[in-house]
């Protein structure tokens, strides 16, 4: 029970939590009601940076979600040109993270980070489809020993202004391994291997490192869902 409730927080949170607590103390000294508001903001900061463990399925051929959130779009489109993965359309699975979602990003497949490309841009609502091309983003290409490459693009949103990657070119990532963080609200696009259909549907809530987005060993038409 305690492990479920008391979720660890990522080390990236420490400066933010420290600053918010200092400001809360200052607000208490100036005017106590404002101090309580500061404490609530500090608690939210801790909550935002939570970093729960996940159980990642490890069977070969699976592609898992790179982020927590809601699937907002399934689109057939070429991968980002900066990753040099060709111009053939593949399925792009877009996951929108609101400010209450876990924001730790995880590798969708086992692979080698062969290319990383940062692109400055705007900060429109990450739920909009045009955010994939217009917003500030960090694109990561993962080359696998068997099969085509997979791409993950971390996209800053209306509130998020910082993309942090904990990996580098040449690094080996395991499926479900933590590799990035976006502060504070964002979007993650996963470009599936060529010829592989998504197994999720628009509106579905997914968990980073756990939810299976696609399975190369199982093919079906793109799924649709209903709210019930």
Q: Which residues are catalytic?
A: 186
Cα dihedral 25→29→33→39 (10° resolution): 0
By the 8 A CB rule, do 147 and 179 touch?
Answer: no
118: left (phi over 0), alpha (psi -120 to 50) or beta: beta
Which own/partner pairs from 54-58 qualify as long-range (CB within 8 Å, at least 24 positions apart)? 54/106, 54/176, 54/207, 54/208, 54/209, 54/210, 55/210, 56/106, 56/175, 56/176, 56/209, 56/210, 57/210, 57/212, 58/175
- 173 within 8 A of 186, measured Cβ to Cβ: no
């Amino acid at each position: 029970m305690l492990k479920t409730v008391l979720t660890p927080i990522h080390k990236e949170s420490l400066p933010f939590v420290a600053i918010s607590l200092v400001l809360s103390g200052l607000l208490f000294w100036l005017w106590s009601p404002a101090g309580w508001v500061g404490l609530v903001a500090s608690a939210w900061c801790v909550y935002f940076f939570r970093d729960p463990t996940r159980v990642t399925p490890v069977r070969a051929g699976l592609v898992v979600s790179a982020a927590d959130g809601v699937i907002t779009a399934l689109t057939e489109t070429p991968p980002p040109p900066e990753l040099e993965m060709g111009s053939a359309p593949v399925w792009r699975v877009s996951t929108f993270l609101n400010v209450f979602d876990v924001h730790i990003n995880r590798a969708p497949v086992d692979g080698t980070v062969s290319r990383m490309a940062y692109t400055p841009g705007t900060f429109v609502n990450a739920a909009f489809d045009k955010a994939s091309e217009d917003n500030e983003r960090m694109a990561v290409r993962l080359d696998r020993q068997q099969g085509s490459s997979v791409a993950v693009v971390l996209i800053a949103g209306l509130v998020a202004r910082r993309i942090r990657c904990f990996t580098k070119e040449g690094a080996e990532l395991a499926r479900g391994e933590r590799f990035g963080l976006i502060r504070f609200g964002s979007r993650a696009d996963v470009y599936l291997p060529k010829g592989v259909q998504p197994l999720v549907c628009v509106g579905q809530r997914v968990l980073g490192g756990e939810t299976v987005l696609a399975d190369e060993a199982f093919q079906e038409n793109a799924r649709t869902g209903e709210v019930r």
